[in-house]
Structure formats: structure tokens, C-alpha cells
């Protein structure tokens, strides 16, 4: 019985040894097989941004290794550098782009340059337009390049005569007579046609503002009222455009930045830097229809102001136009009552108080 068990144990040990030996020999034979050697080649890529029409030279190129199996015929290998030098880029090439034959052309060939470099910042279907500004209209210069703003406009309205298109009230005068020849004792104008007598219209006295007839309830007598001053314009303010992107605060450079830096002589670092000039225009990216609206507002002397908003906020809020009536009703502002007493001295305008720390500007003599 014991011999049978011993025999079985020996057979198991022999079988396990054979399996382990077979696996070891097979693994050893696999490692001894020669591996396929990977061959790498060097190709050229843009080491820096190359503008459209920019010359290809060694300073803007660099090489990188790729497997030869990934090499494409349109790429330029390291030994093909003479075929690259002196060529120009057909379109802007970003840093890191592999140079191919379709990206470059001979320097003698015309390369279309599609406007200034900042024109590519304008999305399709949009346009850039500049509007005048001051420190107050751009939130104390908190608004800068790339900011998102709302555009508000304030307008002044007056009543005009529909026919004359002149501000009311009209001027009145007394008609003294009409007819051929001159009218005596009157001031007027006349015109004539060749071969015909002068047709004259006489008007007595200088014109005065047109008024209206009122009836005094106390004495039941009519009297004629005329305006005491010119018509006061009525103001209204409203938000016109929302979430508008600012393209540029101030003027664009008249010359390319690289040319300007190359031609400008080195300055003394200890020299006093000139004070920056406050910008007086801002360029906005708007739709073509909005650009027409802004053009109309600029040439009608509307006052434009811009409010800064969070660039991640893309909401559009409906706003109500602000008028005197809106302020009184929306903010519950009462109209002061006419009292038998008043403050002294008389207050006719609102004057800001002068504070001790205010800077006083003394005009130069």
C-alpha cells in the first residue's frame, strides 16, 4: 500500500518537473529569436509661429524623430533642408506643425495676405467698429481688450414742426400785405422771375415765439402766453447691446510690431518713461446691423456708455428705458410740493462739495 502511494508521488513530481522544464525551454527559445529593429528618421517642423508669407529659414525650423514607417512623401527629411530654405508659408503655421509640401511655396509666387493679423479675431458674420469713449464711458478704464460689455445709449428728444422740421415753438410775425411791387412800412422778402415784376410778402416786426391763448378765470379775460425759454429736451436711456466683445481699447499699431521693435533704437533704461496717453476710442465686435445702429448714434451725438460684465455670463436681460416718468414711478420718488417757505440761498443747480483731499488743478500761466 505504501509502495503504491510512493510511486504515485514520484510520478506527480516527474510530471510537474517536465511541465516546468518545457515552459522554461520554450521561454528561453523565444527570447533568443532576433527582434525587428525600428528605424527612425528626422523630419522638419515649425519651431515657432510662422506668419502667412513668412520666409522659411533655419531659425524657424527644428527636427523631430519619427519611425520610418510613419514617414509620408510630402514631409521633409533632414537631408532635404535645401528644398525648404528660401520658401514662404502659404498660410499661418502654428508652432509644432510638421512642414509639408502643401504648406509652402516659392518666394517668387504671390501669397495672398488676408488683411491684418487682428482681423482673424473677428468671428464669421461679425464686424469690428470703433466708437468714441472717455474715462467715464468705459468704467474708469476697467474695460480692456477681450472684455465683455453692455452698451447703453442716452438720447435727447425735442418737438419739431412736421413741415419745417425745426424745433418748436415757431416764430410768429404779422402779415401786412401781399402783391406785386414792394410793400411800404413792412420788412419782408421778395423774389422775381426774369421778365416779371417782383412778388413781395411783407412781414411787420421781428418774429417772436409762438404761444397760446389762455383765459384768466379770475377776470375772465384772455391773455397770450409765450415761452420763457427754449424747449427743454427730454432724455431717455436704454441698453442697446448686450454681451459685446471688446476687440481693442485704443488705437491699433500703424506698423507691425516686429518692424517697429527692429527699427526703434535702444533706449536708456534709466530714462524717464513717458506717461501713457488715455485712449479715446474703443473697438467692438458687433453684427453688421448693430454697427449701423452705432454709426447712427455716433453722428446724432448720442451718449454711449459701456458696463463691464463677467465673460462667463452669457445671459440676456430685458431692460426698461429710463425716463423721468420711469424714475418717479419705479423708485417711488415724490414730486416736491409747493410750500410757502424755501431754503436760502436758492438752489438752482447741484454742485459737488469740495473735499480737503481733492486735487486742485492750477492752470499754467
Judge whether 204 lies within some domain. yes
Do 83 and 96 lie in one domain? The reply is: yes
- Among candidates 59, 58, 60, 39, which has minimal Cα distance to 49? 60
Q: Which pLDDT score is estimated for 53? A: 80
Confidence of residue 259 (pLDDT cuts 50, 70, 90): very low
Q: What is the DSSP code (8-state) at residue 160?
A: B
Q: Are strands 171-180 and 40-46 parallel, antiparallel or unpaired?
A: unpaired
Q: Which pLDDT score is estimated for 272? A: 60
Do 131 and 238 lie in one domain? The reply is: yes
Judge whether 246 lies within some domain. yes
Q: Which pLDDT score is estimated for 263? A: 45
Query: Is the bond leading into 169 cis (omega within 30 degrees of zero)?
Result: yes
Do 215 and 175 lie in one domain? The reply is: yes
Judge whether 355 lies within some domain. no
Domain that holds residue 178: 160-189+198-231
Do 177 and 221 lie in one domain? The reply is: yes
Do 239 and 307 lie in one domain? The reply is: yes
The per-residue pLDDT for range 184-218, each reduced to its tens digit, is: 444 444 444 444 444 444 444 557 888 899 998 88
Do 227 and 142 lie in one domain? The reply is: no
Do 213 and 184 lie in one domain? The reply is: yes
Q: Which pLDDT score is estimated for 206? A: 59
Do 237 and 227 lie in one domain? The reply is: no
Judge whether 227 lies within some domain. yes
Do 148 and 75 lie in one domain? The reply is: no
Judge whether 72 lies within some domain. yes
- The number of folded domains in the chain is 3
Q: Which pLDDT score is estimated for 1? A: 61
In the predicted model, is pLDDT for residue 260 greater than 70?
Answer: no
Judge whether 114 lies within some domain. no
Do 318 and 227 lie in one domain? The reply is: no
- Among candidates 67, 66, 129, which has minimal Cα distance to 98? 66
Q: Is 46 exposed, middle or buried (0-12, 13-18, 19+ CB in 10 A)?
A: buried
Residue 261: strand, helix, or coil: helix
- Give percent helix, percent strand, percent coil of the chain, each to the nearest 5: 20, 30, 50
Q: What percent of the chain has pLDDT over 90?
A: 39
Amino acid at each position: 500500500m505504501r509502495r503504491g502511494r510512493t510511486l504515485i508521488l514520484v510520478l506527480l513530481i516527474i510530471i510537474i518537473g517536465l511541465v516546468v522544464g518545457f515552459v522554461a525551454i520554450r521561454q528561453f527559445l523565444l527570447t533568443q529569436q532576433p527582434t525587428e529593429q525600428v528605424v527612425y528618421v528626422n523630419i522638419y517642423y515649425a519651431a515657432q509661429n510662422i506668419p502667412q508669407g513668412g520666409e522659411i529659414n533655419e531659425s524657424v525650423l527644428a527636427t523631430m524623430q519619427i519611425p520610418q514607417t510613419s514617414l509620408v512623401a510630402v514631409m521633409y527629411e533632414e537631408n532635404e533642408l535645401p528644398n525648404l530654405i528660401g520658401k514662404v508659408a502659404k498660410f499661418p503655421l502654428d508652432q509644432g506643425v510638421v512642414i509639408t509640401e502643401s504648406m509652402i511655396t516659392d518666394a517668387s509666387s504671390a501669397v495672398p495676405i488676408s488683411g491684418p493679423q487682428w482681423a482673424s479675431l473677428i468671428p464669421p458674420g461679425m464686424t469690428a467698429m470703433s466708437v468714441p469713449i472717455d474715462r467715464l464711458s468705459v468704467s474708469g478704464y476697467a474695460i480692456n481688450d477681450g472684455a465683455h460689455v453692455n452698451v447703453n445709449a442716452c438720447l435727447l428728444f425735442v418737438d419739431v414742426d412736421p413741415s419745417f422740421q425745426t424745433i418748436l415753438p415757431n416764430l410768429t410775425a404779422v402779415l401786412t400785405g401781399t402783391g406785386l411791387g414792394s410793400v411800404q412800412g413792412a420788412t419782408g422778402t421778395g423774389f422775381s422771375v426774369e421778365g416779371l415784376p417782383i412778388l413781395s410778402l411783407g412781414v411787420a416786426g421781428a418774429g417772436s415765439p409762438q404761444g397760446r391763448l389762455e383765459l384768466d378765470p379770475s377776470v375772465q379775460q384772455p391773455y397770450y402766453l409765450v415761452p420763457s425759454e427754449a424747449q427743454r429736451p427730454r432724455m431717455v436711456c436704454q441698453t442697446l447691446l448686450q454681451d459685446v466683445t471688446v476687440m481693442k481699447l485704443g488705437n491699433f499699431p500703424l506698423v507691425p510690431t516686429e518692424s517697429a521693435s527692429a527699427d526703434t533704437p535702444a533706449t536708456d533704461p534709466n530714462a524717464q518713461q513717458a506717461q501713457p496717453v488715455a485712449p479715446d476710442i474703443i473697438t467692438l465686435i458687433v453684427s453688421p446691423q448693430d454697427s449701423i445702429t452705432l454709426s447712427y448714434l455716433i453722428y446724432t451725438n448720442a451718449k454711449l456708455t459701456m458696463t463691464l460684465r463677467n465673460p462667463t455670463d452669457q445671459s440676456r436681460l430685458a431692460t426698461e428705458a429710463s425716463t423721468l416718468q420711469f424714475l418717479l414711478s419705479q423708485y417711488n420718488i415724490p414730486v416736491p410740493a409747493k410750500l410757502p417757505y424755501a431754503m436760502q440761498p436758492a438752489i438752482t443747480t447741484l454742485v459737488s462739495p469740495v473735499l480737503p483731499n481733492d486735487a486742485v488743478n492750477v492752470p499754467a500761466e
